[in-house]
A and B are shown apart, each in its own frame.
Chain A
Amino acid sequence: MPDHEGNGHSIIAKYLRQDRLPHIWCPACGIGPALNCFLRAIDKSGLDPDKISVISGIGCSGRVAGYVKLDSFHTTHGRAIPFATGLKLANPELKAVVFSGDGDLAAIGGNHLIHAARRNVDMTVICINNFNYGMTGGQVGPTAPYDVRTSTTPYGNFESPFNLPLLLYASGATYIARWTVLHLHQLENTMTEALLKPGFSFVEVISPCPAVYGRMNKEPEGLDSLKSYEKRSIIKNGADPKDVGITQNGPIIVGKFIDVDRPTLHTNLAVVAERAKKQVKNS
């Protein structure tokens, strides 16, 4: 057999804590492929791994922090973003990456999400959107489409979901993209771009949760969900975020939606800090 040089698995061996395998995720869960892309994106970005910090909240998606061979922190539920903000303020040299779930980021952590985007904190947020709280038994979450079945909405969800790209756009995020775990090459490239983008970047990953969400919604196998994504996905780079909301059986618009430049919290803070220093000196 030829050598492994340059192959995907040498990248995985470099960044994945293989001593922790098998991981806790259910068979056919989408978090694994998303993590795989993330590890490759780190390598592709050329960033110094010693300067990357991965921060997760609580949930199945939140377990990612424990599987990377990088500095990482597993915070309390919903608090990955404020932790990352603090980290970044204390040590601006670090690249802060938040990897967590829809419930963690958009429900209990929803305020942190919008305010970090508003401030344009220099960080990348990767959100595994499986439309429910997978870890705790599949309760309805803030991204669950209208009328889907979950363990707390067994007769259909009567709430309306967040359209995450629109929420993040309105809040001021400078990079917003969405892919499903079937668009893996695109996801890898997008994650690389997001890692290198100054300011607040947000990558939504539509991901199967066969064990609880799928089972309640006629997608008991992970493959059922992938086939549904295959049928429903439409690639529309530059799509208007207001047009990308997800419904129970409607199209899933994927692509890079937003890529703009705006001064980050750090640049603005540096300007004001300089001004403050001068004024204090003159007084």
Chain B
Amino acid sequence: MKLWRTPFDHNHSAEPLAYVFIDRERCKGCGFCAEYCPCDVLKMGSELSSKGYQLAVVKDGDKCLACGFCELICPEFAVKLTINNKVHSEIKS
């Protein structure tokens, strides 16, 4: 849905549906999460990990829909999604 104006309190009240965390020690730069995130939340960064792998980074956390696909597809168990229960209960109510 397109809003015809941005609500005044939008910037400080909007919380993401979930927080994506990438374990920098575990990520081996395969790119699966960045390629298959349906909302373009993740991307491959330019930074290398301590082991020399190109790290995936969270580009736009606000866009996360909490589908959990990144967490499932990560071959290294390096992506952790934390559902924002507060926003979810607000949506439900």
How many residues on the A side are at the interface (Cβ–Cβ under 8 A)? 35
Cβ of A21 and Cβ of B26 under 8 Å apart? yes
A36 at the interface (CB under 8 A from B): yes
**Least CB distance, A82 to chain B, in whole angstroms:** 30
Cβ of A27 and Cβ of B85 under 8 Å apart? no
Q: B residues 40-76 with Cβ under 8 Å of A?
A: 53, 68-69, 71-76
**Least CB distance, B68 to chain A, in whole angstroms:** 6
Given known A-B contacts A2-B85, A16-B77, A226-B35, A9 and B28 have beta carbons under 8 A apart: no
Chain B residues contacting A6 (CB-CB under 8 Å) are 83
CB contacts between A and B, total, < 8 Å: 88
Chain B residues contacting A21 (CB-CB under 8 Å) are 26, 76-77
Cβ of A7 and Cβ of B30 under 8 Å apart? no
Query: Residue A25 contacts which of B69, B75, B81 (CB distance < 8 angstroms)?
Result: B75
A154-173 toward B: CB 8 Å interface, digit per residue (1/0)?
Answer: 00000000000000000000
Q: A residues 207-249 with Cβ under 8 Å of B?
A: 221-223, 226
Query: Residue B71 contacts which of A8, A16, A25, A30 (CB distance < 8 angstroms)?
Result: A8
A1-22 toward B: CB 8 Å interface, digit per residue (1/0)?
Answer: 1111111110010001010011
Given known A-B contacts A7-B81, A21-B26, A28 and B75 have beta carbons under 8 A apart: yes
CA distance A40 to B81 in the complex (A): 14
CA distance A12 to B84 in the complex (A): 19
A184 at the interface (CB under 8 A from B): yes
B24 at the interface (CB under 8 A from A): no
Residues of A near any B CB (own CB < 8 A): 1-9, 12, 16, 18, 21-23, 25, 27-33, 36-37, 40, 181-182, 184-185, 188, 221-223, 226
